[in-house]
Chains A and B, each alone.
Chain A
């Protein structure tokens, strides 16, 4: 239930743009972010559905819009539709409209469909990140809630409120996925900051219990070594360990390199795990075969002797 002080808009509310006059009708609330609420809406008179974010603060929202505008040129299919203001009876609020991505947050998708999806989704997510990085931005607040996965593993980053230019301080972060939290480096937005978050996210998806335990210890003793220990202990990480280790240590030069290496390791992994199956014969079968050869040899020997 929503609280009285923060009710949000009920379904059917019409949001009208002050500058561009577009009208959107609220279907339901999709979620609440750090600096606004996101609604599922459709444009009046048109079938298409969109996600519409209403900001708590015009300034915060505008700096998010600025980033999205800057990214518009780089992205093949733009995310931002339009930005405007709306007068909701009591006061003026800013909002922007974005593409609606139907799907579920990463952690729920994995829980439902299984951890074998991690390699493919990881690959797609790294592709997204490398586009962002190529434009000179770090995502910042990378966590499962901010990664939407639609059917068949299509991946989309949502909530660009934490995005900052390279070299600037990270605007928003979440403890577990923050490099500073693990005493592993600064909170400056750069390629390795995002890759670090990505690595912790993978660890959380594959072995949440161990990550939770590691995060419970004293803040001053928390370190990358604890994360590396998880990688060594749990065999589930075998195909990922080398890559994740490299990301945790900030050893990738850029996200292209990280992406290529992920690709290489994941595909190598599938080939390797696929090959031994036809090659390896169970021991009992080999022994039985050897035994049958011996028996046959004996039979042939006795046959000719008689």
Chain B
């Protein structure tokens, strides 16, 4: 099972639509969950709407919380999504076998058996969660809490019977071409990684969409650089286009 957990505090303002990017993720079998972190003030109507839309497009859930509830919320969302993913697969099977219906419509004794299987799978299946952190200027005071919440999530994942891996990214990068930076590669142990966000440079831009696309590529190719050849191609195309214009 693959998940992306986006942690942000506002609206994207650069590049491709994050809602479209989330829809792409779901197409690749990656569920996108979104947490809006809010300590003071409001997230804004637009920001709130975008958070909701991204989660909907990505087949996931969204929550808006303050930093004290962040750890608990991330843990709950991840767990819930695992169960939901399995439930969807199980419902598909039920429909396949019975022609129609879902888990909820089964009689109690049958449902009890099915849920036992769902619980078993939720605990034992392998899980990957890519955390994508909005590191724009307004997020800076919250990053310590975010890092703690990530460690806490790892602790919960470690307790699972199935293999659980976590990776951490933040956006934007140092220069304008860099949409996302990897902080932690796939790992099942964060003990070695102290100070995840130490080499951070805060900028105003929030390229949520492009960053999401990069993480999807990371899932696909296992590296952020896997897309460099493609970038090369695009610059070539640009060159060709330039030729045409001339």
- Say what secondary structure dominates the interface of chain B: helix
By the criterion CB–CB under 8 Å, are A186 and B104 in contact?
no
Q: Which of A58, A167, A169, A219 contacts B104 (CB 8 A)?
A: A58
CA distance A170 to B152 in the complex (A): 13
Q: A223 at interface (Cβ–Cβ under 8 A)?
A: no
Could you give, for residues 93-130 of chain B, a 1 whenever the CB lies within 8 Å of some chain A CB and a 0 otherwise?
A: 00000000001110110011001101100010000000
Q: Is B245 an interface residue (CB 8 A)?
A: no
Please encode chain A, from 1 to 40, with 1 for each CB lying within 8 Å of some chain B CB and 0 for all others.
Answer: 0000000000000000001000000000000000000000
CB distance from A130 to the nearest CB of B (A): 23
A149-190, CB < 8 A from B: 167-171, 175, 180-181, 186-189
Shortest Cβ distance from A183 into B: residue? B155
- For residue B174, CB closer than 8 A to chain A, the reply is no
Q: Considering the chains assembled together, what is the distance between the CA atoms of A29 and B174 in angstroms?
A: 54
A220 to B193, CA, bound (A): 13
Question: Which residues does chain B contribute within 8 Å of A84, judged by CB atoms?
Answer: 108
Does B87 have its Cβ within 8 Å of any Cβ on chain A? Answer: yes
Partner of A83 from B83, B87, B108, B119 at Cβ < 8 Å: B108
Asked if residues B123 and A168 are in contact (CB atoms below 8 Å), the reply is: yes
Give the docked Cα–Cα distance between A148 and B111 (Å).
Answer: 30
- Chain B residues, Cβ within 8 Å of A62: 111-112, 115
Contact B119–A63 (Cβ < 8 Å): yes
Contact B83 A169 (CB under 8 A): no
- Known contacts A19-B107, A83-B108, A92-B104; decide if A170 and B148 are in contact (CB<8 Å): no
Task: List residues of chain B with CB within 8 A of the CB of A60.
Answer: 83
Query: Do A170 and B159 form a contact, CB below 8 Å, given A92-B104, A175-B72?
Result: yes
Q: Decide yes or no whether B220 CB sits under 8 A from chain A.
A: no
Max chain A CB contacts within 10 Å: which of B104, B105, B123? Answer: B104
How far, in Å, is B101 (CB) from chain A's closest CB? 12
Instruction: Find residues 193-242 in chain B having any chain A CB closer than 8 Å to their own CB.
Output: none
Q: How far is the CA of A167 from the CA of B159 in the complex (A)?
A: 8
A59 touching B87, Cβ below 8 Å: yes
Partner of A169, one of B112, B148, B156: B156
Residues of A within 8 Å of B159, CB to CB, are: 168-170, 186-189
- Is A66 located at the chain interface by the 8 A CB criterion? yes
Tell me if A65 is interfacial: C-beta within 8 Å of chain B: yes
Q: Which of B72, B103, B152, B155 contacts A58 (CB 8 A)?
A: B103
Which of the residues A63, A180, A187, A188 comes within 8 Å of B115, measured between beta carbons? A63
Residue ID in chain A nearest B111 by CB atoms: A62
Residues from chain B with a CB closer than 8 A to the CB of A219 are: 148, 151-152
B156 partner, pick from A63, A65, A180, beta carbons under 8 A: A180
Report whether B111 and A180 are in contact in the complex, using a CB–CB cutoff of 8 Å: no
Select A69's contact among B72, B112, B155, B160, beta carbons within 8 Å. B112
Pairwise interchain contact A187-B112, C-beta atoms closer than 8 A: no
**B115 and A168 contacting across the interface, CB-CB below 8 Å:** no
Q: Does A255 contact B (CB under 8 A)?
A: no
Q: How far, in whole Å, are A142 and B220 apart by their CA atoms in the complex?
A: 41
Bound form: Cα–Cα A94–B112 in Å: 12
Cβ contacts under 8 Å, B148 to chain A: 219-220
B161 touches A59 (CB 8 A): no
Instruction: Report yes or no: A59 in contact with B115, Cβ–Cβ below 8 A.
Output: yes
Residues 43 to 85 of chain A near chain B (Cβ within 8 Å)? 58-60, 62-63, 65-66, 69, 83-85
**Interface 1/0 per residue, B71-93 and A, CB below 8 Å:** 01000000100010001000000
Q: Which residues of A contact B158 (CB under 8 A)?
A: 186-187
A65 to B116, CA, bound (A): 10
User: Quick one: which of B119-173 are within 8 Å of A by CB?
Assistant: 119, 123, 148, 151-152, 155-156, 158-161
* Interface contact B83-A59, CB-CB below 8 Å: yes
Residue of A nearest to B158 (CB): A186
Q: Which residues of B contact A188 (CB under 8 A)?
A: 159
Across the two chains, which residue of chain B brings its CB closest to A170? B159
- Shortest B205–chain A CB gap in Å is 30
- 7 A-B contacts (beta carbon < 8 Å): A58-B103, A63-B119, A66-B116, A69-B112, A169-B160, A180-B152, A219-B152
Residues of A within 8 A of B (CB): 19, 58-60, 62-63, 65-66, 69, 83-85, 92, 94, 167-171, 175, 180-181, 186-189, 219-220
- Please name 8 further chain A to chain B contacts, defined as beta carbons within 8 Å, in addition to the given A62-B115, A187-B159, A219-B148, sorted by A numbering: A19-B108, A58-B104, A63-B115, A65-B112, A83-B108, A180-B152, A186-B159, A219-B152
